[in-house]
Structure 1
């Protein structure tokens, strides 16, 4: 769907530029209009002064004894802006401008009828402020080399009015454009971020039973990483839920028969008519409890190894040390059953999780002990082969047919006709440990003992 950043930049910059260009155009026109009004008035006033100076020279004052030359200005009433204030005979702003010409003694030689009959300002060159005709005026006085003083004045009110009109005319289009621009930005951002809101809604409305991933094709580039992480979480949750459901179903199925047997043996213990029968029932009850304990322990171990949410604590492990530790225990058990356990272990290390490696070695030895003939033999070897660490466990039992070797790693699968009781979880635990360590496991016939040979190959460190 493209980039949110690019879409926001393109939309906002394009929209903002368009709105501001229109606003600037109207501001520019308003400024020109107000400035034009002022300069029109100045132009008209200058033209009148020039006309008066040319037509009635100041040197010819004999025709006007004692009286200054008076320049008439336009005194009509007008309101509005622009052309509404301009006429063929003058401009409405003329009455707000005044000028005088005075001689060296301060006598007024020429004046506009919009100004006072007395001096506009003191005879001091430069700018000043004055009050006459009930209004404040800004004045400017200029002295010529001939000794005459030229004074002009502009009503402060008109100066402020023009400045305010220009500023207001400049600001008004922008002020009008501001809410339009805000609305445009809101609409654009809402449109662009709608897809993000859709992702949020999709996550919020996810049914616990429907953990399908969110489709990335409908998601902006910037949130692909977030959505992929959410999809990964959904996938792991789905796997965990399926695993827990399967585990619950398996537990319910596998515990049904042992629990029924426990109830029967407990009933027989209570109802036994003689001490001999009671002792026999008690022995059966003890055996059932042991089988139940082993089954529950193996199921919990399998559940823990299968849990992908836990982070395995990998560390350097010497396989020979683990093999020695368990061989001591199983040698005693094998001797008690009339069997032998031989071991040959060279020091070789792997990166592994101690809990999983212990479970792997223990279950391989346990299976070898359980399925070996009586009298019989078992062997365990640990050695390095190039860059690999190899663990080999062999027994003198009946072995596993080649057709069944791919199925024995399934939980609760048991080969019929072995005459050995079991839960079918031992090799499932081994398979999970092998998968956790990215190792390789191979089953074949033992050339020395005649039973099963299991070879597990790890990467050595």
Structure 2
């Protein structure tokens, strides 16, 4: 169900309900005011009759006659019909002294004081009893339906206009709902008209305040999607460019193998082809690792990192390379009882990070030297004795598929990029310097420093 239809149903259901509650409240207030008005008149009538009452000469004397009632159908002198009013006066012995035609039927209550609701002649009446100091009792009353008639007349004069206006009100609310939801319809049309390549932010300057958080979230999503697509396009383009060269080399080596005329020539060609396949395998492996690191969201939760297990696996993975190049791998741990770089994160990604650092250090260190891995309390250091790097090479570290000229060891130029991406996912940073003595190449993994704006 659409939001507009839902709002319309709510309004169509709530508006009559609220109107009915208001009507009941109006009836209650009108009844209260009418009762207050007529009760005051009954009190005044009883007091006036008591003030003008004179005792009869003898009990047998005729009762004073009140003016006759108007004939049926005659025009009334006021809104209230005198047939619905009654008055009666009794002496201290309970004998009726004064009464109109209706007053004679009023019940005598010796001890009654104030207002009493009672049936008179089969109809509900509102009676008021007033005790005189002389012992006389005065009663004034009014038929209840006269009050109800006035209440209904007052409320009806208000209800009829409201009933006539209610459809207009509902139509006005429907128009207001459509106008209020017009920005949503415009946003829907704008997004529906876009193609898959249009990720420009949606303008929110004229948007209602309720839609601005939604538009801000959408624009943020568009920015993340655009960044992701840009990374994917760049990665695809770079991968296609980098894979073209090793594939061409492998094809050439295969041609050499097929055309070899001697066993020695074929053996050399096969050896070069094996080396090319190894480079291709490493390149594909690094590209897959980079792709996974690029597509992973920042790590904000996880398990405590088990650094001893990670270091053991990394040393085992790099042992063959270190043995081939006569490199000694050394690992230093913090003092007893202190953890190494307390961190919560993805153990597999951190294994890839540390393996790339140790592999690079062992791959480019001078043969017969030492590669040191130092696990500190606030950082990790990987250092080899390769000598300080020129400033231009330090600046180029981390560029994809970039390898300094003159390298003998096979590589893809992606290792540092993978390390930096995994470090960023864990809130870490990687910095390079010349080591404590200024004659080495050292990579330091530490918590990222806050940047000033």
TM bucket, shorter chain = 0.5 to 0.7
Higher percent of residues as strand: 1
Given the alignment of the two structures, is residue 363 of structure 1 paired with residue 356 of structure 2, yes or no?
A: yes
Q: Which residue of structure 1 lines up, in the alignment, with residue 6 of structure 2?
A: none
Question: 1:431 and 1:304 mapped to 2: Cα distance?
Answer: 13
Shift of 1:392: 0.9
3-state SS of the aligned residue for 1:423? coil
| Equivalence map 1:319-358=2 (5 Å) | 326=314, 330=318, 332-336=320-324, 339-348=325-334, 349-351=340-342, 354-358=347-351
Residue among 380, 383, 387 paired with 1:392: 383
Residue among 89, 98, 105 paired with 1:120: 105
Q: Deviations over 1:195-243 (max 9, x none)?
A: 8998899888886544455677667778877766655544443333322
Residue among 65, 80, 84 paired with 1:69: 65
Residues 381 and 391 in structure 1, CA contact (< 8 A), matched pair in contact too? yes
Shift of 1:291: 1.8
Question: 1:255 and 1:310 mapped to 2: Cα distance?
Answer: 29
Given the alignment of the two structures, is residue 303 of structure 1 paired with residue 291 of structure 2, yes or no?
A: yes
Shift of 1:415: 2.3
Q: CA distance change for structure 1 residues 318 and 104 in 2, over 3 Å: closer, same or farther?
A: closer
Residues 341 and 377 in structure 2, CA contact (< 8 A), matched pair in contact too? no
Structure 1 residues 434-443 or 32-41, which shifts more?
A: 32-41
Question: 1:432 and 1:285 mapped to 2: Cα distance?
Answer: 32
Shift of 1:296: 0.6
Residues 327 and 341 in structure 1, CA contact (< 8 A), matched pair in contact too? no
Residues 428 and 445 in structure 2, CA contact (< 8 A), matched pair in contact too? no
Give TM-score scaled by structure 2 length: 0.63
Larger radius of gyration: 1
Q: CA distance change for structure 1 residues 415 and 48 in 2, over 3 Å: closer, same or farther?
A: closer
Q: Which residue of structure 2 lines up, in the alignment, with residue 409 of structure 1?
A: 398
Shift of 1:429: 2.7
Q: Deviations over 1:20-71 (max 9, x none)?
A: xx999x98997799569858986997799689968xx843999xx8786342
Question: 1:445 and 1:147 mapped to 2: Cα distance?
Answer: 120
Q: Which residue of structure 2 lines up, in the alignment, with residue 4 of structure 1?
A: none
| Equivalence map 1:177-326=2 (5 Å) | 209-211=197-199, 232-266=220-254, 272=259, 276=263, 282-311=270-299, 313=302, 315-316=304-305, 318=307, 326=314
Shift of 1:412: 0.7
Given the alignment of the two structures, is residue 438 of structure 1 paired with residue 425 of structure 2, yes or no?
A: no
Q: Which residue of structure 1 lines up, in the alignment, with residue 415 of structure 2?
A: 426
Residues 317 and 355 in structure 2, CA contact (< 8 A), matched pair in contact too? no
Shift of 1:254: 1.6
Q: CA distance change for structure 1 residues 58 and 32 in 2, over 3 Å: closer, same or farther?
A: same
Residues 381 and 392 in structure 1, CA contact (< 8 A), matched pair in contact too? yes
Q: Which residue of structure 1 lines up, in the alignment, with residue 57 of structure 2?
A: 59
Residue-pair matches, total:
411
Structure 1 residues 168-177 or 411-420, which shifts more?
A: 168-177
Question: 2:139 and 2:354 mapped to 1: Cα distance?
Answer: 115
Q: CA distance change for structure 1 residues 122 and 42 in 2, over 3 Å: closer, same or farther?
A: closer
3-state SS of the aligned residue for 1:395? coil
Q: CA distance change for structure 1 residues 378 and 326 in 2, over 3 Å: closer, same or farther?
A: farther
Task: Report the aligned-residue RMSD.
Answer: 5.7
Question: 2:224 and 2:217 mapped to 1: Cα distance?
Answer: 11
3-state SS of the aligned residue for 2:432? strand
| Equivalence map 1:56-205=2 (5 Å) | 58-59=56-57, 69-75=65-71, 77=73, 86=77, 93-99=81-87, 111-112=99-100, 114-115=101-102, 119-120=104-105, 125=110, 129-131=119-121, 136=123, 138=125, 154-162=142-150, 164-165=152-153
Question: 2:46 and 2:220 mapped to 1: Cα distance?
Answer: 83
Q: Which residue of structure 1 lines up, in the alignment, with residue 8 of structure 2?
A: none
Residues 131 and 138 in structure 2, CA contact (< 8 A), matched pair in contact too? yes
